[in-house]
Amino acid sequence: MSSIVGHSSVVSSKTSAPRPKDQTVQVEFGGQKVDVPKDGYYDRYRMNPNLDEVARDPAVGSDIDFFWKIPKKLVDSRVGQIYAPNFYYRTRSVQLVFLAPLDHLKSKLPSPLKPITALPGYGLVALTFYSYLVCDNDPYNEVSVAIIVRQPGKNSYSTTQLLSSVWNRTFYGYVLALPVDTEIARVRGVYGYQFPKWLANINLEMDDHNIKADLTAADGTPDLILDVPLPPLKTMPSQTSIGTNNAINKIDGKWYQVAVQTNPLLGTQCLFPSNVKLSRREGPLSKILNELGVSTILRMDVLKDAQMVLNMPTPLNAFDNVKL
């Protein structure tokens, strides 16, 4: 569940190789001790960066006006007081949106969540590879599998909701898997948001011609391999195509939603792409996709350059009076 929707040189996003101890420092987050890059963003700023300094970082690559308009605050969370929201100054991603049988999706969704209907008998599943090149908690990669669901509290027809979501660039999803390749990303996701995160080996690369991505379980079990030609991209002026994706999940037994805002800068969208090679192997995400019965790729979204904001969870009051 990610974006709707950069530079011409090859940028590799392989971040999973551990750094030597003399290049890391140990920090505490949520009662857990983790190693982070020495003099990296987390080491220097502890989630409260100096945006003037960030703007001068050549790795950021774009202006950061988007972030100036969203001031950080020191807020209470289930892991103590933290600065929020979380800023991702330069990201890239590739998302595949699949059709899948509604009965398969319903079996994976807790009540009262319901899958959105895209075609008679079929709903939507989003598989997304992310690479966070510059962010508040240092570079890492992530893969998401999510079921697109109906907006909580809205009883309009699925077709109406889907068209509204596309028009407003606002989607709702239930995340089934969210592996990452750094320990601080895992700890923050599990203890801060109760997301289904675990450590895995993840790579995402984009050059002028191709997109290559792969996911391998921590024990070496092969999982997913993606290979697709890079489609023609278009530049989008900053803050003209902002999208919002809402991850819905339970935290400490109560329903919450987590809003992720994406500011696309360079990317594209392809309907019914025919040149996508996605190999499923023996790993956990391959198993999930098989159980969901995903079939036709309805859409591919490529973002070679984008900015993101991850907000804190907010209570989902639409479910307060629903009998489970």
Structure confidence by residue, pLDDT tens digits, 127-147: 999 999 999 999 999 999 999
Residue 311 falls inside a structural domain: yes
| Predicted local confidence at residue 13, as pLDDT | 43
Encode 227-258: b = buried (16+ Cβ within 10 Å), e = exposed: ebebeebeebebeebbbbbbbbbebeeebbbb
Residue 67 falls inside a structural domain: no
**Model pLDDT for residues 164-215, shown as the tens digit of each residue:** 777 678 899 999 999 999 999 999 999 999 999 999 999 999 999 999 999 9
Reported pTM: 0.91
Residue 153 falls inside a structural domain: yes
Residue 73 falls inside a structural domain: no
Query: For residues 136 and 72, is the Cβ–Cβ distance under 8 A?
Result: no
Poorest-pLDDT segment among 162-166, 249-253, 272-276, 290-294: 162-166
| Predicted local confidence at residue 321, as pLDDT | 61
Write the DSSP symbol of residue 192: I
Residue 81, C-beta contacts closer than 8 angstroms, at least 6 positions apart: 74, 75
Looking at the structure of the chain, the number of domains it has is: 1
Which two tokens mark 261?
């805002």
Mean pLDDT of 232-243: 96
Residue 258 clears pLDDT 60, i.e. is over it: yes
What confidence category does residue 22 fall into, taking pLDDT thresholds of 50, 70 and 90?
low
Residue 86 clears pLDDT 70, i.e. is over it: yes
CA distance linking residue 73 with residue 81, whole number of Å: 10
CATH of the domain at 273: 2.40.400.10
| Predicted local confidence at residue 21, as pLDDT | 61
Mean pLDDT of 36-49: 95
Poorest-pLDDT segment among 29-33, 82-86, 108-112, 271-275: 29-33
Say how many Å lie between the first and final Cα of the chain, rounded.
Answer: 25
CA distance linking residue 142 with residue 129, whole number of Å: 6
Residue 61 falls inside a structural domain: no
The count of other CB atoms within 10 Å of the CB of residue 182 is 24
CA distance linking residue 109 with residue 116, whole number of Å: 12
Residue 323 clears pLDDT 70, i.e. is over it: no
Residue 289 falls inside a structural domain: yes
Residue 32 falls inside a structural domain: no
Q: What's the domain range around 107?
A: 11-15+87-319
**Model pLDDT for residues 268-290, shown as the tens digit of each residue:** 999 999 999 999 999 999 999 99
| Predicted local confidence at residue 221, as pLDDT | 93
Residue 252, C-beta contacts closer than 8 angstroms, at least 6 positions apart: 78, 194
Residue 194 falls inside a structural domain: yes
| Predicted local confidence at residue 154, as pLDDT | 74
Q: What is the mean pLDDT of the chain?
A: 90
User: What separation in angstroms does the CA of 317 have from each of 154, 158, 278?
Assistant: 12, 21, 38
